Structure 1
Amino acid sequence: MLTRRKFAALGAMAALSACAAPQPVTRAAATAVPEPIPPLPDFYGPIYDEPYPVPAVEEGVLRPELWRQEVDNPWPGYKRGTIVVDPDAALLHFVQSPDTAMRYGVSVGAQGYSWNGTARLQFSRKWPRWKVPASMIARQPELEPYSVANGGMDPGPGNPMGARALYLFQDGVDTLYRIHGDADPRELGQAVSSGCIRMLNQDAIDLYDRSIHGATVIVLPSRAPDPTVTA
């Protein structure tokens, strides 16, 4: 039987990101010497019982503070099922009880394209189609083949929505922002997309299984300065 450490990654990561291209890596980030990262928990191994392959998360990339883990609940007053995203910490909490929450590392919307507020988890999808909104096509015309009018992109490897997606609505209107899979572990903890909240496929599947239809989703406002705004 294959173990997660013997499992070979199945194909290259998708060239398209879920909402926009990742931000360029700074020179300081490129030259910094990372501290050793311990072996990943087994739940970041390959998943074999999905319609499409979910390869193991690469070792030595994901910092322990971004691993899925049960923690003390920072928001004990919120109902079970509430999801809280802190973009500055790049963490998502799923409230389990007044005492505990499940915490996940995420990547979030880059400044200038980010979204925050309180929404409703209107519905969720396994292996969703990627239907690119008109606002994104205006910035990236090459995505026109995957527009809503054209039916979007088929699910599966290469689809930047990944294995699961949670759809956020506000007052009955689609916000066009999603919590979804297919994040590159190197992107976790960074602002890389146009507002979407991206997770590892393993974590997106886990959150999908825990999530509660109609639950409140709170995306906290970022306190970081917007580099697109000049004095």
Structure 2
Amino acid sequence: MNDFRKSGRNVSRHLGGASDHFMRMKSFAIVAALALSAAISGCSTIGSQLFTNNYGSVNDAGYQLPRIPIERVPLKYHRQEVNYDTSEKPGTIVVDTQNKFLYFVEGDGRAIRYGIGVGREGFEWHGTAHIALKREWPTWTPPRQMIQRQPELAKFASGMEPGLKNPLGARAMYLFNKGGDMGYRLHGSPEWNSIGKAMSSGCIRLMNQDIIDLYDRTSVGAKVIVM
């Protein structure tokens, strides 16, 4: 009988230990889930703030922008505030064409980072420019050289009206240098799945919800560096 009681106590201690271990693992899982949730909602503790919840449907100037299925866009291309060490002054835009990122410099070692699409092979470029014009829901006019390459675009030679299918999207900012209009734009795009890719004719494209955000932050005259 004594052996039985001792055995029972040993079993109880064993079960108690297993229960404690289970509770510790459960608590760890809950904490991990909360940490992931916080990171996604913009409360990351590693120096970056995500804006993943800012890609819903938007009514803008009478146009109903559809929700972007942001869960299908790699996390690194979601709009986020990040640590960014630069000597450029706040308000400067830095385009990293290799990594497909655009940085809006905030100062104090911080920047807003956006995922972008860039020029395809043969249409890459690098240099410094400035924002000369800003337009909401712009008209798109394909350049003459583009019409020569794609004759089907001739119907838009006088301009394509603004709208959800317009290649410039909800906003456009026009890049000039000392020689005048470079022909390149920072603009929105209805093709959210082109972000992170090299598909354009040299313009820098963002998701529509992102270009609206960047547009509101950017002043005419802002410096743009394309690397």
Query: TM-score normalized by structure 1?
Result: 0.74
Alpha-carbon distance between aligned partners in 2 of 1:218 and 1:176, rounded to the nearest angstrom: 15
Rounded Cα–Cα distance in structure 2 between residues aligned with 1:59 and 1:205: 16
Residues 1:44 and 2:55 are matched in the alignment: yes
Shift in Å, 1:115: 1.9
Report if aligned partners of 2:165, 2:190 keep a CA contact under 8 Å in 1: no
Distance 2:190 2:78 in 1: 13
Instruction: Answer with 1 or 2: which has the greater Rg.
Output: 2
1:93–1:63 CA distance, 2 compared to 1 (3 A): same
Percent identity over the alignment? 46
SS at match of 1:74: coil
Residue 55 of structure 1 aligns with which residue?
A: 66
Residue 144 (1) aligns with residue 151 (2): no
SS at match of 2:165: coil
Whole-angstrom CA distance in 2 between matches of 1:74 and 1:174: 30
Using CA pairs under 8 Å that are at least 6 residues apart, name the structure with larger relative contact order, 1 or 2: 1
Please list, as runs of the form range in 1=range in 2, the aligned pairs for 1:6-21 lying within 5 A after superposition: none
Runs of 4+ in 1 over 3 A off after TM superposition: none
Q: Return the alpha-carbon distance in structure 2 between the equivalents of residues 189 and 174 of structure 1.
A: 26
List alignment gaps of at least 5 residues for structure 1: 1-37, 221-231
SS at match of 1:120: strand
Give the whole-Å Cα distance in 1 for the aligned partners of 2:224 and 2:173. Answer: 10
- Distance (whole Å) between structure 1 residues aligned to residue 124 and residue 64 of structure 2: 30
The number of equivalent residue pairs is 179
Matched, 1:170 2:177: yes
Whole-Å separation in 2 of the counterparts to 1:53 and 1:125: 18
How does the TM-score come out when normalised to structure 2? Answer: 0.75
Q: Paired residue for 1:203?
A: 210
Match of 2:123 in 1: 113
**Residue of structure 2 in register with 1:82 after alignment:** 92
Q: Which residue is equivalent to 1:21?
A: none
Which shifted more, 88-97 or 174-183? Answer: 174-183
2:162 corresponds in structure 1 to 155
C-alpha contact (below 8 Å) 2:52/2:79 kept by paired residues: no
Code of the residue aligned with 1:128 in structure 2: it is: P
Query: Quick one: which amino acid aligns to residue 182 of structure 2?
Result: T
Please identify which structure carries the higher helix content: 2
Find the aligned partners of 1:172 and 1:59 in 2 and give their Cα distance. Answer: 38
Q: CA deviation at 1:99?
A: 1.5
Work out whether residues 52 and 70 of structure 2, in 8 Å CA contact, stay in contact via their aligned partners in 1: no
Counterpart residue type for residue 173 of structure 1: G
Asked if the contact 1:126/1:164 (under 8 Å) is kept, the reply is yes
**CA–CA separation in structure 1 for the residues paired with 2:102 and 2:85:** 11
Q: What amino acid maps onto 1:81 in structure 2?
A: G
Q: Could you tell me which amino acid in structure 1 is paired with residue 203 of structure 2?
A: C
